[in-house]
Amino acid sequence: MSTSCEGIRIALKACLIRSDCVLRQNHLPSECLKDHFEGLPDECKQLRQSLFECKRGMLDMRNRFRGNPGAKISNRLLEEQEQESA
């Protein structure tokens, strides 16, 4: 699979791990996404939607020439995470 959505995926994982669903209720991140989605912070919900749109953009042939808008967001998130870790 292409890595164009990797930044969004990493940000979503980090958001899920920091959520109360995982920390306090001891659920797996995958369980939080599937069964306890209402209790997640808005940031995680927005990242999930962004990941969905990025994946959908990878399949859209119109984006072949314009580029996947989700990939641009993903690259920006990766750059921000690299700056925070440095």
Per-residue pLDDT, 1: 44
- What predicted TM-score, i.e. pTM, was given to this entire model? 0.75
Annotated domain spans of the chain? 5-81
Residues 6+ positions from 66 with CB-CB distance below 8 Å: none
From 83, 86, 66, 77, select the one nearest 14 (Cα to Cα).
77
Q: Which helix (H) or strand (E) holds 20?
A: helix 20-23
Per-residue pLDDT tens, the chain, 86 aa: give them.
456 788 889 999 999 999 999 999 999 999 999 998 888 999 999 999 989 988 888 887 776 667 666 666 766 777 776 777 66
Alpha carbon distance 50, 12 (integer Å): 9
